[in-house]
Amino acid sequence: MPETDGESGRANASAPPEPGPAVHGRRLVAIILQAGSVAAALSSIVGLVVVFAPGLRSSGGGGDNERATTVVLSQGQEIKLAIAKDHVPARVTYGRYLELEEEGSTGIPTDELRTPGADVHYRVEMRGYGKGAPFRTRFTLSNQGGVAVHEHEAEATLDADSDECRCTEFVPVPVSAQSYRVEVAVFRPGAPYAAPVVAQYTNWFSGSAPVRD
């Protein structure tokens, strides 16, 4: 999905380009096949993660309702990533996610619409970048054993009238007795080969929780 809705700042998955309308033309299978499953162990540190790189300075904080981290790049730009402290990703099917957060599910096969997952909300501010600037975000789902079971990247844009994106993303989550959380990692704009500059974790949530269809 090549761009976001300026009003809601929804993130768009970086699946291979397909013809047709941009927003609800995204194919979940393409996301999963592109990403694959990741058989690597993740750190079990709870809270925030900052990806350090030369020329970056970071600071934690945020308001009373958010966990937030800000990085300052060498040329003065600032990138802030925040997740609400009480945000537990809602368990939804892909079809329900499209109805809630995007422009509907027209044209998506029924089996894809039934895929269970989670609706992840996060907020990004980018000072020093143009309004409406595009950026990439990586989403990694891991279980309580620290094993990554899914990963994909998505594209989003800052709102057309601000330097902020209140973004959402669908992350496939299996129905199981395990607990999961999602790492959200943001890349700086215009750096296609760079590592993410900042990341945060969602709260833990249950894989056995009811999935809204």
- Residue 2, domain member (yes or no): no
Residue 213 lies in a domain: no
Q: Which residues form the domain of 73? A: 12-206
Classify residue 19: in a domain, yes or no: yes
Most distant CA atoms of the chain, gap in Å: 48
Q: Would residue 120 count as lying in a domain? A: yes
pLDDT tens track, the chain, 213 positions: 334 444 445 554 444 333 333 333 355 644 443 444 333 333 332 333 444 343 444 445 556 799 999 999 988 999 999 999 999 999 999 999 999 999 888 999 999 999 999 999 999 999 999 889 999 999 999 999 999 999 999 999 999 888 999 999 999 999 999 999 999 999 999 888 899 999 999 999 999 999 999
Closest CA to 127 of 71, 169, 85: 71
Number of domains composing the chain = 1
Q: Record the pTM.
A: 0.74
Tell me if 5 is assigned to some domain: no
- Judge whether 7 lies within some domain: no
Helix (H) or strand (E) holding 111: helix 110-113
Render the burial of 99-126: b for 16+ CB within 10 Å, e for the rest.
Answer: eebbeebeebeeebbebbbbbbbbbbbb
115 phi and psi, to 5 degrees? -60, 125
Alpha-carbon distance of 55 to 73, in angstroms, equals: 6
C-alpha atoms less than 13 angstroms from C-alpha of 205 in its C-beta half-sphere = 26
| Both structure tokens of 210 | 């009811």
